[in-house]
A and B are shown apart, each in its own frame.
Chain A
Amino acid sequence: MPYDYKPYDYVAPPGLTGPEPRHPVIVVGAGPIGLAMALELANFGIASVILDDNNVVSVGSRAICWSKRSLEILDRLGVGDRCVKKGVTWKVGRTFHRDCEVFNFDLLPEEGHKMPAFVNLQQYYVEEYLVEQAQANDLIDLRFKNKVTDVSQNPDFATVQAETPDGVYTLEAEYVIACDGAKSPIREMMGLDFDGELFEERFLIADIEMLADAPSERWFWFEPTFHPGQSALMHKQPDNIYRIDLQLGWNAKPDEEKKPENVIPRIEKVVGHSDFKLDWVSVYTFQCRRLGRFVHDRVIFVGDSAHIVSPFGARGGNGGLQDVDNLGWKLAAVLESRANSALLETYNDERIHGADENILNSARATKFMTPADGVERLFRDQVLALAGKARFARGWVNSGRLSVPCVYPLKAPDDPALPRAARPGAVAPDAPQRSDWLLTQLGRRPVVLALGCDVAPVRGAEILHPDVNDWVRRRYMGEAAKAVYVIRPDQVVAARWPYVDGKAVQAAVDAIWRVQG
């Protein structure tokens, strides 16, 4: 069944009839990132107003692959279980050259995590769930059909002008978070450069409804016989909706290609029959760009407004949720004067680091999928040819390296005797805890994990003694008999030791709120 789009109610905002008090935060854009941002802030007790120019959820599936880390974040926002339940869980990707499988990957070969590697779920469902959460939250004032037309900076607040069906009004906030998407009007209004690479390639993207028994896997084809010389991707979504991406070449005319009489014959070749219904079609180009800075005084860019990547790595929506994860606790601390505004600089630096990693991976995959004529195509084609006869080359076939959280370059106490996956800067790995999960227990506050030992009370952090089972031992201790971890509110490892040093632990907890020099 195709999605039933229901418009949300517009309510005339108070600002039309009289000045509103200054808000702590205005979030511009009620896409998945803006909604998640407001919910994350609300979880820290920070109120916000969300302004959205529209009154429906996303049209078309758009972001469909939600990574394990995103599901963990969505879980903290109260919609994780719902997303997993509704979504199609998958972890195996298969890559074909012509009609032979050349490579496959398993994204979560190990058990012992609450969330699966990936869930496919149309963006409109994620938005619907988040809207419900936001509307039920007293700290969030979600305003549909409020289109931001101007933004200006003041020394300690920002002013936004919004247009509604009943007229224009202004409102102030200590911080404005621009979650207004890839074409960010706020970015335009502020005249900020959005630099990077445009790849001369076009892809057709379509959602089709069909009854099929396809496995819950990601299937990617290089030069399939049904679409000669180009690439194709098929992904299963809930409600018998399949997502199909087809490379078109740079000379394709988007408006022509979007016409059903042109789309349908192409899809027929992919699925081998005509027993399907076309639900949504779009044509896109590949781009990898980002802002030079994400923090501009009182205006902070989050998600696609700050950085865009070409698809096939699931690094757009997932990258945006990681921005939210990184910014929420810092902004809450700054607003409550628990930290200096310089802490926001670490959002800027850490998420630029993350965006650059996503851009690097996406650009490499794009180059592999759509090589330029000459030596790029030569090597691409020979990797594919070699993959058929030499095992090593299979891993070189690049149909997108799927989103995993980056490891922030923290200067922090570390010990190489402890497992690398849980090093400072990395997201703390999940592990089963009797009837619960370690990440659930970590929550969103500073935590000291005392593993196989005890730690004296620490100012500003809760000490947890998780059940040291095999999962915890493997992921946090390795061969060490004990270990102490300091974890930030975004569940990133801040420091760790294979021994107990109370002073060092206290220093690491204090350092969470300060900018590293």
Chain B
Amino acid sequence: MTALIDTPNLADHDGFYAELLAVHRGLSEAQSHALNAQLILILANHVGDRKVLSEALKLARQGFEAG
């Protein structure tokens, strides 16, 4: 059973981070939200492991109190 990897796993993370910001360039805030939503869906499909995705959702939610 694969667990969610929460230790370093992406070699060029600085490069990816820059690319992530760059892909939003020129978009309104609403467009950026839309793009992010699509990105989540694309990555979720690529991961293809329901358990890992649930763990990722849990990790992302950590520290957020209901607003």
Contacts and interface: CB of A to CB of B under 8 A. Distances in A.
B54 interface: no
Interface string B2-37: 000000000000000000000000000000011001
A244 B45 CA distance: 34
A49 interface: no
Contacts of A393: 41, 45
Contacts of B66: none
A392 B34 contact: no
Which range holds the interface residue count of chain A? 10 to 19
B38 A378 contact: no
A392 B45 contact: yes
B42 interface: yes
Contacts of A382: 34, 37-38, 41
A32 B33 CA distance: 48
Nearest to B42: A390
Contacts, number: 22
Contacts of B37: 378-379, 382
Contacts of A381: 34
A386 interface: yes
Q: How large is the interface on B (under 10, 10 to 19, 20 to 34, 35 or more residues)?
A: under 10
A390 B37 CA distance: 14
A174 to B, nearest CB: 47
B41 A386 contact: yes
B39 to A, nearest CB: 9
B38 A386 contact: yes
Name A's interface SS. helix
A28 interface: no
A382 B37 CA distance: 6
A325 B59 CA distance: 45
A312 B42 CA distance: 27
Interface in A27-82: none
Nearest to A380: B37
A378 B34 contact: yes
Nearest to A395: B45
Nearest to B30: A378
A383 B41 CA distance: 8
A390 B34 CA distance: 15
A371 to B, nearest CB: 12
A385 interface: yes
A8 interface: no
Contacts of B45: 390, 392-393
A392 B46 CA distance: 10
Interface string A373-406: 0000011011101100010110010000000000
A378 B45 CA distance: 18
Nearest to A386: B38
Contacts of A378: 33-34, 37
A390 B42 CA distance: 8
A379 B45 CA distance: 14
Greatest chain A CB density within 10 A among B33, B34, B41 is at: B41
B53 to A, nearest CB: 13
Contacts of A392: 45
B42 A386 contact: yes
Nearest to A389: B38
Contacts of B41: 379, 382-383, 386, 393, 396
A372 to B, nearest CB: 15
B3 to A, nearest CB: 24
Nearest to B46: A392
Contacts of A385: 34, 38
5 contacts: A382-B34, A382-B37, A382-B41, A385-B38, A386-B42
Q: Which 8 A-B pairs have the closest CB atoms?
A: A382-B37, A392-B45, A382-B38, A386-B38, A379-B37, A378-B37, A382-B34, A386-B41
Given A378-B37, A386-B38, A390-B45, 4 more contacts: A378-B33, A379-B37, A386-B42, A393-B45
